[in-house]
């Protein structure tokens, strides 16, 4: 190497070193991958022919394929061929036919809040966006500690904390009985500081699949009222849990009937399969119509500063399905197809583990409801399932029942039997 070349090499090295030292981003660490979505990456990279992905909460049909609902295809076809539609901005609060129909879907058409016009809806970037908008609103106008269930959907913690609200947990899952820790939950609600915010899953609790009974919901409402707490429902699975839209909305409707003001976040990712369209709604119930208008105006202001205007396509699909009687009927039938398949997978998994005489009790698999089952498997067992059996699931033992089908459920059950016996 000549002296000239060596000088040039040193100059380049020095330039790189100075650039590194002077970077305004030098203190930014590498963030860990998302624990759930990373399972998709790992599964796709695994060449094993009988790998099973039961980690991500997305519906799959009996062949393990994503299912585009026929009613969604119908609505898409009409929209695409409607020459009167354009790509102009929606209003800040979204497509009004969509938000009004969403409110009626969750609250019920005869709800006192609907009849008395004491509600307002804002279109959001699916359920996550609805929770975040609600968190931002509460941080500005009703700042208090937020209580989320232990466990809960992992994103709840980050969303509320990033919005500036302190987050605590209330007991929910009892590992000893593999069911609801109801009395501990009530005790925590009663002991929480007056005016706290409680995030509640109205159906198909994520990740446990354990829902309170109707009587337990009444007691939860009483405890929240006594503590002057504020209920914030996160409803990602209406109709998908039981196959019945009204049954899955019963908790929210009961609270409204009891006179509560509340927020409810809705997502159409699961129940219409619109995962990538990011279609959601945040509905508020207030004491008066005037207050509903005030809240809407402030939520519009917050939304304008974050997403400006919501996307139109998914909202148009949902609006068409919800507002057309024939399409709505078809959708209810297709919802039941999805819910029934998941219920059937629960029954088959329970029966197979029973046939294998897998140690422990597995009744909780059929007692739970919705997309997820909280198996009770520990992190060490989950690791062996992944490394030895090529089965991908979250470390807390949660599985998506939609990832199972008649072709892989015995493979899955035998793998579970193996780790329960030997890990």
Q: Which two tokens stand for residue 358?
A: 């897998």
How far apart are the C-alpha atoms of 140 and 391, rounded to whole Å?
A: 44
Q: Are 267 and 227 in contact (CB under 8 A)?
A: no
How far apart are the C-alpha atoms of 285 and 302, rounded to whole Å?
A: 18
How far apart are the C-alpha atoms of 72 and 318, rounded to whole Å?
A: 8
> 118 φ, ψ to 5°?
-105, 40
Q: Are 283 and 264 in contact (CB under 8 A)?
A: yes
How far apart are the C-alpha atoms of 326 and 106, rounded to whole Å?
A: 19
Pairing of strands 262-267, 230-235: parallel
Q: Could you tell me which residues come within 8 angstroms of residue 19 by beta carbon, excluding any fewer than 6 positions away?
A: none
Rg over alpha carbons for the chain, rounded to the nearest Å, is 24
> Rounded to the nearest 10 degrees, what angle do helices 289-306 and 126-141 cross at?
110
Q: Which of 153, 173, 217, 331 is catalytic?
A: 153
Question: Is 153 a catalytic site residue?
Answer: yes
Q: Which of 51, 74, 104, 270 is catalytic?
A: 270
Question: Is 143 a catalytic site residue?
Answer: no
Q: Which two tokens stand for residue 114?
A: 């609907």
What is the secondary structure of 307-357 as a DSSP string?
TSS--SHHHHHHHHHHH-HHHHHHHHHHHHHHHHHHHHHHHHHHHHHHHTT
How far apart are the C-alpha atoms of 390 and 408, rounded to whole Å?
A: 12
Q: Which two tokens stand for residue 187?
A: 């005790």
Instruction: Find tokens 């129940």 and name the residue.
Output: 271
Question: Is 340 a catalytic site residue?
Answer: no
Q: Is 264 helix (H, G, I), strand (E, B) or coil?
A: strand
> Rounded to the nearest 10 degrees, what angle do helices 70-80 and 313-323 cross at?
110
Q: Is 339 exposed, middle or buried (0-12, 13-18, 19+ CB in 10 A)?
A: buried
Handedness of CA 180, 181, 185, 186 (dihedral sign): positive
Q: Are 18 and 333 in contact (CB under 8 A)?
A: no
How far apart are the C-alpha atoms of 267 and 260, rounded to whole Å?
A: 22
Q: Which two tokens stand for residue 228?
A: 């002057």
Q: Which of 234, 248, 331, 362 is catalytic?
A: 234
Catalytic residue IDs: 153, 234, 270
């Amino acid at each position: 190497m000549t002296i000239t070349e060596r000088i040039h090499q040193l100059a380049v090295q020095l330039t790189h070193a100075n650039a590194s030292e002077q970077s305004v981003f030098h203190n930014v660490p590498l963030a860990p991958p998302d624990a759930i979505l990373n399972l998709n990456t790992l599964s796709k990279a695994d060449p094993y022919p009988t790998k099973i992905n039961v980690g991500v909460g997305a519906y799959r049909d009996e062949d393990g394929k994503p299912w585009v609902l026929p009613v969604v295809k119908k609505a898409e076809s009409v929209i695409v061929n409607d020459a009167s539609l354009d790509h102009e901005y929606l209003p800040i609060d979204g497509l009004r036919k969509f938000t009004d129909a969403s409110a009626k879907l969750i609250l019920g058409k005869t709800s006192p809040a609907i009849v008395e016009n004491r509600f307002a809806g804002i279109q959001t970037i699916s359920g996550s966006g609805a929770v975040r908008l609600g968190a931002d609103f509460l941080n500005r106008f009703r700042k208090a500690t937020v209580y989320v269930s232990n466990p809960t959907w992992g994103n709840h913690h980050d969303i509320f904390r990033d919005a500036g609200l302190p987050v605590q947990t209330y007991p929910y899952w009892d590992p000893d009985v593999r069911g609801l820790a109801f009395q501990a939950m009530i005790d925590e609600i009663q002991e929480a500081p007056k005016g706290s915010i409680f995030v509640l899953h109205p159906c198909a609790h994520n990740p446990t699949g354990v829902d309170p009974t109707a009587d337990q919901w009444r007691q939860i409402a009483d405890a929240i009222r006594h503590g002057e707490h504020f209920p914030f429902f996160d409803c990602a699975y209406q109709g998908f849990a039981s196959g019945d839209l009204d049954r899955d909305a019963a908790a929210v409707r009961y609270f409204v009937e009891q006179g509560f003001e509340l927020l409810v976040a809705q997502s159409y990712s699961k129940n219409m399969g619109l995962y990538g369209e990011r279609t959601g709604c945040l509905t508020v119930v207030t004491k008066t119509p005037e207050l509903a208008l005030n809240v809407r105006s402030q939520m519009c202001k917050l939304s304008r500063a974050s997403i400006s205007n919501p996307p139109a396509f998914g909202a148009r699909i949902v609006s068409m399905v919800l507002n057309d009687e024939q399409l709505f009927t078809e959708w209810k039938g297709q919802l039941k197809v999805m819910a029934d398949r998941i219920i059937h997978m629960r029954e088959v998994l329970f029966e197979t583990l029973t046939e294998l005489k897998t140690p422990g009790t597995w009744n909780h698999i059929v007692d739970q409801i919705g997309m997820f089952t909280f198996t009770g498997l520990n992190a060490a067992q989950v690791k062996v399932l992944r490394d030895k059996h090529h089965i991908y699931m979250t470390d807390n033992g949660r599985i998506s029942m939609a990832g199972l089908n008649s072709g892989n459920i015995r493979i899955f059950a035998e793998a579970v039997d193996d780790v329960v016996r030997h890990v």
